[in-house]
Amino acid sequence: MFSNTAWVDEGVRTWHKMKSRGKSKLGKLEQHFTSLSHKASLGDYCSFMKNTNHIDVIMNRAKRNELITLEHEKEFNRQVIVILFDIVRTLARQGLAFRGDGDESGGNFNQIVKLISRHNPLINRWIKDISMRSHKVSYLGPRSQNEMIEILCNEVKKIIIKEVQDANLYSVMADTTPDISHKDRLAVCVRYINNEGKAMERLLEINEGTDKTGLGIAKQIVGILKKNTLSIDNLSFQSYDFASNMSGSLNGAQVNLSKLVDHEVYYIPCQAHRMNTFLEHGCNASLIILNMIGNLESLYVFFSASTKRYSVLNKEMDIENKLQLKNLSKTRWTARAESIKAVWNSFEALCISLSNIYSNSSYFDGPTRTRALGLNKKMLSFDFIVSLIFMKNIMYKLKMLTETLEKKNLCIIDAANLIDVTINSLDDINKDNGAMDNLIESAISFLSALGIDPEADFKLHHRQKKPPAWLDPNSNTQPLFQMLSHPLKKENISLDVIKSALALFPPNTEEAKCKDIDTVQAEMEILIGMCHDSDSNTFDILINKSEEMKHILPWANKICKLALTAPVS
C-alpha cells in the first residue's frame, strides 16, 4: 500500500521530474499527492491533531481549567471578605460588641454571619467548606476580627486626616474619662470645615491617659496631632471642660498647649459642659429644688424597683397621653427636664397609684405602704408643686440651649448670642414678680383642685422660728440676767426688775408673796456695792458675799440662790 518510499527512505535526486507534463504524464509531486501513502498519512495526521487524549492537549486543558477555577475561587473569596468587612463596619457603626465572654460562637459577629448564611449561598458555602480549606481558614476568629477593625480604622483615619489637611485650619477638643477597666482614656477630636463648607467634628484617636497634669495632657495631645501628620502650625482653637487640669490659667492644658506649639491657641470652654455645671450649682443652691429632685428620683426608684408596683401605675396611666417615668441622669442635668415633664404629665396617675398602694394592706407589705404614703404626701406638698411648675419651664429652656450648643454646625458667635438671650430670659423671669405670683397662684389652684389647703401646708413646713434668747429661751428669766450679769451694776436694779425677779419664785413660797420691794432693791444695791470693793465682781464673788451677809441681807441672798438654782443643761 505504501510502496513508494522515495519520500521516506531514499530521497529524490531528479528534481526536473517533479513537475507534470500534461495530464498523461504526471510529475513526481502530483503522483505523491495522489498516492495512497500520502492520503493515509494525511488522514493519520488529522486524526492525531483532533484526538483529545493527546498529552499536550490534555495538559493545556487542565492548566486552563485550573486557572479558571483559581479565578473563580479568588472572586468567591473576595465577595465573602467584602461581606465580612460590611458586618464589621455595621457593628462598629452601631457601637455593638463583637464577641461575648468566653464563647466566641455566641458573639454578635459570628451570630450575624450565621444569620446571613441562611439567606446567602456564598456565606453558606464559606462556612461549610472551612474544613476543606488549607489550615481551616475562616476569618471568623477574634484575631481576624481585630485585623478587619484595624484596617477599617486606618482607612477612616486616612480620610479624616486628608480632609483636615485640605481644610488647612482646625481646632482640637479633648476630654478624659475612665473606661470599664478603670484606665483613664484621653479622647482627641478635631473640628474643621470640609470642602463643602460644612463644619465637621471627628474623633481622631483614643489613648490611655498616663499623666493627668495640664502639661502631661498637652504633650499627649500634641503627640497625637504630630503622629497623624497634622500640622500644629494650623491649630487655631482648643476646647475642654472646666476641670482645673484642663482649663487652668496657670498650669492647665490650655496654657501648656500654646507653649508647646509656640503660638497662641485660643481657649474656648466647652459651653455644653459649662451650662450643665451652671444648672447643677444653681439647683444645689436651693434646698426646695434639691428636695424636689430627690423626690423625683425616689418616685422612679419606687416604681421601677418592683414589677408589682409598676403594674399598679400602668393601670392608671394612659400610654398615649402620659409619659413613663424616667431616671434622673447623674451627669447631664439638662436631661432631667424629661423626668420633670413625665411627672408633671402623669401627676394624677402617680397620686392615684400611690394612694392605691398604701391603702391596700392585703397586697402590699408595711414598708412599701409606708414609702408610698410618704411619697404621696411629698408630691401633694406646696413646695413640690411650686418647684415642679417653676423648674419645668427653666429646665426646658436650658435643655434646648444645650442641645443647640452641641450641634456641629453652630458657630461660636451664634452660640454666644444664644447664651446671652437665654441669660436675659432667665433674668427676666427672676425680675418678673407678676409672673412669679401667677406661678404661685397656679400652684395654689392646682392644690385646691386636689383638695389640699395650700396655706396650711405652707405654714406646716415653713413655721416662723422665734429668735432664741441669750442662753435661755424663757424671757421671764431675763430679770435675773439683767441684775446679776457681769459686770454687776446698780443701774440694772430697778423696781420693775426686782418685781419680775420675785415673780420667778414658786407662787406658794414666802418670797413670791413679798410686798416690800423697796427693801429687796436696797439689799441688792448694798450687796453689789460690797462686791465692787473686791478685785472681781463676778457672780461667784456675789454669791459668796451674799452667804456671808445673809443674816443682814436675807432677800439679796435668796435672789442669788434662785439664780444659782436655775439649770444650765
Q: Are 245 and 214 in contact (CB under 8 A)?
A: yes
Question: What pLDDT was estimated at residue 467?
Answer: 54
- Does 472 have pLDDT greater than 50? no
The Cα-based distances of 203 to 196, 489, 514 in angstroms read 20, 81, 92
Residues 18-49 pLDDT 10s: 677 666 777 777 777 777 888 888 877 777 66
- Does 505 have pLDDT greater than 80? no
Q: Please compute the mean of the pLDDT values over residues 147-151 and round it to a whole number.
A: 93
Q: How far apart are CA 128 and CA 119, in angstroms?
A: 14
- Does 383 have pLDDT greater than 60? yes
| pLDDT band at residue 6 using 50, 70 and 90 as cut-offs | low
| pLDDT band at residue 118 using 50, 70 and 90 as cut-offs | very high
| pLDDT band at residue 257 using 50, 70 and 90 as cut-offs | very high
Residues 335-364 pLDDT 10s: 677 788 888 888 888 888 898 898 888 888
Q: Are 237 and 266 in contact (CB under 8 A)?
A: yes
| pLDDT band at residue 503 using 50, 70 and 90 as cut-offs | confident
**Residue that wins the pLDDT comparison between 113 and 513:** 113
Question: What pLDDT was estimated at residue 321?
Answer: 47
Q: Are 459 and 491 in contact (CB under 8 A)?
A: no
Q: How far apart are CA 399 and CA 405, in angstroms?
A: 10
The Cα-based distances of 158 to 93, 153, 163 in angstroms read 17, 9, 9
- Does 499 have pLDDT greater than 90? no
Q: How far apart are CA 212 and CA 205, in angstroms?
A: 17
**Residue that wins the pLDDT comparison between 63 and 145:** 145
Question: What pLDDT was estimated at residue 101?
Answer: 65
Q: Please compute the mean of the pLDDT values over residues 1-24 and round it to a whole number.
A: 62
Phi-psi region of 349 (alpha: psi -120 to 50; beta: other; left: phi over 0): alpha
| pLDDT band at residue 148 using 50, 70 and 90 as cut-offs | very high
Characterize the bridge pairing of strands 170-178 and 184-193. Answer: antiparallel
Mean pLDDT of the chain: 80
Q: Are 298 and 322 in contact (CB under 8 A)?
A: no
- Does 82 have pLDDT greater than 90? yes
Phi, psi of 379, deg, nearest 5 = -65, -30
Given the C-alpha cell 499627649, which residue does it identify?
Answer: 220
> Distance from first CA to last CA of the chain, Å, rounded?
152
Q: How far apart are CA 377 and CA 361, in angstroms?
A: 18
**Residue that wins the pLDDT comparison between 538 and 411:** 411
Question: What pLDDT was estimated at residue 162?
Answer: 92
Q: Is 23 exposed, middle or buried (0-12, 13-18, 19+ CB in 10 A)?
A: exposed
Chain centroid, CA 58 distance in Å: 70
Lowest mean pLDDT among 205-209, 309-313, 517-521: 517-521
H or E stretch covering 192 = strand 184-193
Question: What pLDDT was estimated at residue 320?
Answer: 40
| pLDDT band at residue 569 using 50, 70 and 90 as cut-offs | very low
pTM more than 0.75: no
Q: Are 172 and 189 in contact (CB under 8 A)?
A: yes
- Please name the residue ranges forming H helices in 432-461: 433-449, 454-461
Question: What pLDDT was estimated at residue 401?
Answer: 81
For 505, which DSSP code? S
Q: Please compute the mean of the pLDDT values over residues 98-117 and round it to a whole number.
A: 82
Question: What pLDDT was estimated at residue 17?
Answer: 66
| pLDDT band at residue 15 using 50, 70 and 90 as cut-offs | low
Residues 303-338 pLDDT 10s: 888 888 888 888 887 644 455 666 666 666 666 777
| pLDDT band at residue 52 using 50, 70 and 90 as cut-offs | low
- Does 567 have pLDDT greater than 70? no
Question: What pLDDT was estimated at residue 51?
Answer: 57
Q: How far apart are CA 240 and CA 253, in angstroms?
A: 9
**Residue that wins the pLDDT comparison between 60 and 217:** 217
**Residue that wins the pLDDT comparison between 211 and 47:** 211
pLDDT cut 90: percent of the chain above it: 14
Residues 415-458 pLDDT 10s: 778 888 888 888 888 888 888 788 888 888 888 887 777 777 77
Characterize the bridge pairing of strands 235-239 and 266-267. Answer: parallel
Question: What pLDDT was estimated at residue 466?
Answer: 60
- Please name the residue ranges forming H helices in 187-267: 214-227, 244-247, 253-261
Lowest mean pLDDT among 109-113, 483-487, 511-515: 483-487
H or E stretch covering 173 = strand 170-178
The answer for residues whose C-beta is within 8 angstroms of residue 229's C-beta and 6 or more apart is: 161, 165
- Please name the residue ranges forming H helices in 129-188: 142-167
Q: What is the secondary structure of 318-347 as a DSSP string?
A: -TTTSPPP-PPPSS-GGGHHHHHHHHHHTH
Question: What pLDDT was estimated at residue 81?
Answer: 93
Question: What pLDDT was estimated at residue 470?
Answer: 44
Q: Are 211 and 217 in contact (CB under 8 A)?
A: yes
pLDDT cut 70: percent of the chain above it: 81
Lowest mean pLDDT among 48-52, 124-128, 545-549: 48-52
Q: How far apart are CA 174 and CA 87, in angstroms?
A: 30
The Cα-based distances of 555 to 311, 443, 449, 494, 542 in angstroms read 77, 62, 65, 15, 13
Phi, psi of 503, deg, nearest 5 = -70, -15
Q: How far apart are CA 499 and CA 555, in angstroms?
A: 12
